[in-house]
Amino acid sequence: MFHWLEKRPFFFAVGVFVVIAFAGLIEILPNFAEASRPVEGLRPYTVLELAGKEVYKKDNCIACHSQLIRPFKAETDRYGQYSLSGEYAYDRPFLWGSKRTGPDLHRVGNYRTTDWHENHMWEPSSVVPGSIMPAYKHQFKNIADLETAYAEAVTVKNVFNVPYGDDIKPGKAAWEAYKPKVLAEARKIAADMKNKDVKDAVAAGKVPEVVALIAYLNSLGSSRYEAKK
Amino acid sequence: MQSNAALEYDYSVAKLYTYTAILFGFVGMLIGTLIAAQLAFPELNYLFGEYGTFSRLRPLHTNVVIYGFTVSGVFATFYYSAQRVLKVSMAESKFIMFVGKLQFALYLIAATAMVVTELMGITQSKEYAQMEWPLDLLIVVIWVLWGVAMFGLIGIRREKALYISMWYFIACFLGVAMLYLFNNMAIPTYFTSGNLGSMMHSVSMYSGTNDALVQWWWGHNAVAFVFTVPIVAMIYYFLPKESGQAVYSYKLSLLSFWGLMFVYLWAGSHHLLWSTVPDWMQTMGSVFSVVLILPSWGSAINMLLTMKGEWNQLTENPLIKFMVLASTFYMLSTLEGPIQAIKSVNAIAHFTDWIPGHVHDGVLGWVAFMIMAGLFHMAPRMFKREIYSKKLIEAQFWIQTTAVVLYFTSMWIAGITQGMMWRAVDEYGNLMYSFIDTVTVLHPYYAIRALAGVLYVTGFAMFAYNMIKTMTSSRELSEEPQFRSPMA
């Protein structure tokens, strides 16, 4: 049979394809039928948080930080309750990471503050002596792309039925109408910060990346379950 | 009527990919060495402003060595060896030649765009699938063109039976196509939001745990179909060719090939042990990872036994050294991987430096060694000159072997140290170390790893120099060498 196959490239290729596709069919598909459902009361990310998630992706935080607390006592002691599948329902992409050069961040919002993050992103070793994390001073200057984050919210609402309000809808006009809400959220974060340039920028209606990033980091943890009550 | 004259093979496309393999190999490994050094000496993060941080450069390193160096090596060796095992020349079909050259041109564009977008931070932030959707589309075109060239050559072949290397190249083509397409399914947000925001941005079709499953089904099997399958194709071609020995066992090659095809795909979920992926999937990943030792070692043993009775060549021919050590590292890394995939071991190993350590004994010791040996073998045949310097190859071999050993030993120690410290508790059951303690303790190992990087990239520079000299100023050959590559 193998000799026969080796003289017939078409059937050979079909054979290879069937053999390699098999595992995916059995291992991947069943979970899709199950599809990850959100845990009860979980709210989707706000537009500002989505913009922060883009900063998290852009500066590739997953290179060193995980967002997955494994069910071991050493991990729950260090980071809190182990992660549940339904907590990731609105994560596109998933940002679990595969390496902990730095600590896990899945519940970082529960134990770090805006002020701490501001100092840390400006100069990590100022709050964690001995840290080998680089400073991300450019995030204090670069302006976050809120419009793209809004476009993402519109997309996941319309395509994947993520439960956003009726004020998230396509088009420039809708975005302009929505923008003040995002800026108001940014002002709340900036109020807890001390960097002059950041405060000025936010006051002028521009949101530096670090503000969006902090909004996102603060959302990692219990604050996204408030809807439950 | 068929002429009896020896076929004149056309290496123009193989040569182009040889150049890019050398270029991307050097650049990618240089970046790798820099980021290794950044972990030991964080001041090095500030050489290029926001574009020079570890986090921004790390995906650039992986992508340039995977899609730049390794994939160039795969295409170069394919366009060289496929003609020979199929007994057909690229020059016989204007169409296939055009497809090959077009593929290379698009490849260069894609590679350049990849480097630029990743430096800018335009990324899907999925490992080894960072490129955004416009680039993904371009890559699909490049891959289809490769398929056209491959099946085009197969279509006009004179040798009816496909040689083992061709099985693996076909599998590489099909496997990557399937995995890449599924993992990169994403919706560009610009078009679904009434033209808002960035054109480049997209959002994954899958969320959370599903996304993780698809991503590691890809992430793991990209290793299978880019770092294993085509490299096995290379060793099945180049080792017998260079040594003049027939492949030891046809049956063993059958078993390893079909075994590898069937088993490899299941193992992807071993990247997600103890995660929120269903338990049975984790167990499947774990079990199949251990089964995977069989087909992996099958190929490696088949190659080592091919040298039976001719082990003296190991001392005489440095290219044989590279290939034999490559199969040996392949065995090491395909034993180490399954060990790490056992759930209890994984609890310690996951998230630590033992994982990059494992990756690198595979890619430095197996993939890169095999590609360099293949290109060395091809050079005298493509450029009709002998290899510039045997001494340089010998020196390169020992420098790089030392580098690989330093790399994985330091990362073994670093990984296990960190894994143990994370879980260490005192007599009252409280955690003994704060996280930063487990970082600072790694400094010496990070320094050793950086040194390993310097050594390896030095060896690669010697390879590049030797190849360039071979192309330009080495002694010319009057006829094509039979087996052992001539070298000065």
Buried b (16+ CB within 10 A) or exposed e, B250-284: eebbbbbbbbbbbbbbbbbbbbbbbbbbbeebbeb
Domain containing residue A56: CATH number: 1.10.760.10
State which amino acid sits at residue A112: R
Q: In A, which residues are within 8 Å of B151 by CB distance?
A: 9
Proportion of chain A above pLDDT 70, given as a percent: 97
* DSSP state for residue A97 in the 8-state scheme: -
- Does residue B481 form part of some domain? no
pLDDT band at A23 (very low <50, low <70, confident <90, very high): confident
pLDDT score for A1: 76
Domain range holding A22?
2-34
Q: In B, which residues are within 8 Å of A11 by CB distance?
A: none
From the list A36, A68, A84, which residue is nearest B210 (CB)? A36
Instruction: For an interface test with B, give the residue of A8, A11, A31 to mutate (most B CBs within 10 A).
Output: A31
Q: Tell me if residue B476 falls in helix, strand or coil.
A: strand
Please judge whether A171 and B196 are an interchain contact, meaning their C-beta atoms are less than 8 angstroms apart: yes
Please judge whether A12 and B38 are an interchain contact, meaning their C-beta atoms are less than 8 angstroms apart: no
pLDDT score for B22: 98
Shared domain check, A6 and A105: no
pLDDT score for A36: 72
Shared domain check, A24 and A131: no
- Does residue B389 form part of some domain? yes
Shared domain check, A183 and A114: yes
- Does residue A39 form part of some domain? no
Average pLDDT for B202-229: 92
- Does residue A131 form part of some domain? yes
Q: Residue A34 pLDDT > 70, yes or no?
A: no
- Does residue B142 form part of some domain? yes
Q: Residue A229 pLDDT > 60, yes or no?
A: no
- Does residue A19 form part of some domain? yes
Q: Residue B27 pLDDT > 80, yes or no?
A: yes
Shared domain check, A16 and A56: no
Shared domain check, A133 and A202: yes
**Closest chain B residue to the Cα of A158, Cα to Cα:** B192
Q: Tell me if residue B182 falls in helix, strand or coil.
A: helix
Q: Tell me if residue B132 falls in helix, strand or coil.
A: coil
Sign for the pseudo-dihedral over CA of A101, B117, B130, A185: positive
- Provide the shortest C-alpha distance from residue A16 to chain B (in Å): 6
Q: What rounded mean pLDDT belongs to chain A? A: 94
Q: What rounded mean pLDDT belongs to chain B? A: 96
Q: For residues A149 and A181, give the distance between their C-alpha atoms in angstroms, rounded to a whole number.
A: 13
- Does residue B3 form part of some domain? no
Its ipTM equals 0.95
**Angle, CA of A157, B181 and B17, to the nearest 5°:** 135
- Does residue A9 form part of some domain? yes
- Does residue A42 form part of some domain? no
From the list B162, B215, B288, which residue is nearest A9 (CB)? B162
Please report how the helices A209-219 and A47-58 are oriented relative to each other, as an axis angle in degrees rounded to 10. 110
From the list A84, A99, A133, which residue is nearest B351 (CB)? A99
- In chain B, residues 269-298 whose CB comes closer than 8 Å to chain A: 269, 271, 274-278, 281, 284-285, 288
Average pLDDT for B203-212: 93
Shared domain check, A62 and A14: no
Buried b (16+ CB within 10 A) or exposed e, A11-20: ebbebbbebb
pLDDT score for B241: 97
Listed in sequence order, the residues at least 6 apart from A214 whose beta carbon sits closer than 8 Å to its beta carbon are A52, A114, A117, A118, A121, A189, A193
Please judge whether A72 and B274 are an interchain contact, meaning their C-beta atoms are less than 8 angstroms apart: yes
Shared domain check, A108 and A30: no
Domain range holding B71?
12-189+201-472
Average pLDDT for A67-89: 96
- Does residue B477 form part of some domain? no
Please judge whether B208 and A151 are an interchain contact, meaning their C-beta atoms are less than 8 angstroms apart: no
pLDDT score for B4: 54
Q: Residue A141 pLDDT > 60, yes or no?
A: yes
The answer to whether the peptide bond before residue B134 is cis (omega within 30 degrees of 0) is no
Q: For residues B273 and B264, give the distance between their C-alpha atoms in angstroms, rounded to a whole number.
A: 17
Q: Are B292 and B263 in contact (CB under 8 A)?
A: yes
The partner residues of B202 in beta bridges, in order of sequence, read: B188
* DSSP state for residue A28 in the 8-state scheme: T
Average pLDDT for A184-198: 97
Shared domain check, A97 and A173: yes
Average pLDDT for A201-229: 90
Shared domain check, A92 and A152: yes
Buried b (16+ CB within 10 A) or exposed e, B183-208: bbebbbbbebbeebbbebbbbbbbbb
Q: Residue A128 pLDDT > 70, yes or no?
A: yes
* B357: nearest Cα among A64, A99, A74, A65: A99
Give the dihedral of Cα atoms A9, A10, A11, A15; nearest 10 deg. Answer: 90
| Tens-digit pLDDT profile for residues B142-191 | 999 999 999 999 999 999 999 999 999 999 999 999 999 999 999 999 99
Q: Tell me if residue B329 falls in helix, strand or coil.
A: helix
Q: State how many domains chain A has.
A: 2
| Tens-digit pLDDT profile for residues B341-369 | 999 999 999 999 999 999 999 999 999 99
Q: For residues A208 and B462, give the distance between their C-alpha atoms in angstroms, rounded to a whole number.
A: 46
- Does residue A108 form part of some domain? yes
Shared domain check, A148 and A209: yes
Q: In A, which residues are within 8 Å of B161 by CB distance?
A: 3, 6-7
pLDDT score for A227: 54
**Closest chain B residue to the Cα of A124, Cα to Cα:** B42
Q: Are A209 and A143 in contact (CB under 8 A)?
A: yes
Average pLDDT for B415-438: 96
- Provide the shortest C-alpha distance from residue A194 to chain B (in Å): 22
Average pLDDT for B308-321: 96
Put simply, whether B422 touches A (Cβ < 8 Å) is: yes
- Does residue B337 form part of some domain? yes
Proportion of chain B above pLDDT 90, given as a percent: 96
Q: In B, which residues are within 8 Å of A88 by CB distance?
A: 207-209, 211-212, 276
Q: For residues B20 and B110, give the distance between their C-alpha atoms in angstroms, rounded to a whole number.
A: 13
Shared domain check, A175 and A123: yes
B384 phi and psi angles, rounded to 5 deg: 55, 40
Put simply, whether B87 touches A (Cβ < 8 Å) is: no
Q: For residues A190 and A204, give the distance between their C-alpha atoms in angstroms, rounded to a whole number.
A: 12
Shared domain check, A188 and A98: yes
- Does residue B194 form part of some domain? no
| Tens-digit pLDDT profile for residues B277-307 | 999 999 999 999 999 999 999 999 999 999 9
pLDDT score for B1: 40
| Tens-digit pLDDT profile for residues B74-83 | 999 999 999 9
The two most distant CA atoms of chain B are separated, in Å, by: 87
Domain containing residue B92: CATH number: 1.20.210.10
Count CA atoms closer than 13 A to A13's CA, side-chain side: 16
Q: Residue A28 pLDDT > 90, yes or no?
A: no
Q: In A, which residues are within 8 Å of B182 by CB distance?
A: 24
Count CA atoms closer than 13 A to A35's CA, side-chain side: 7
Q: In A, which residues are within 8 Å of B55 by CB distance?
A: 59-61, 63-64, 134
The partner residues of A99 in beta bridges, in order of sequence, read: B351
Q: State how many domains chain B has.
A: 1
- Does residue B403 form part of some domain? yes
Q: Tell me if residue B424 falls in helix, strand or coil.
A: coil
| Tens-digit pLDDT profile for residues B87-141 | 999 999 999 999 999 999 999 999 999 999 999 999 999 999 999 999 999 999 9
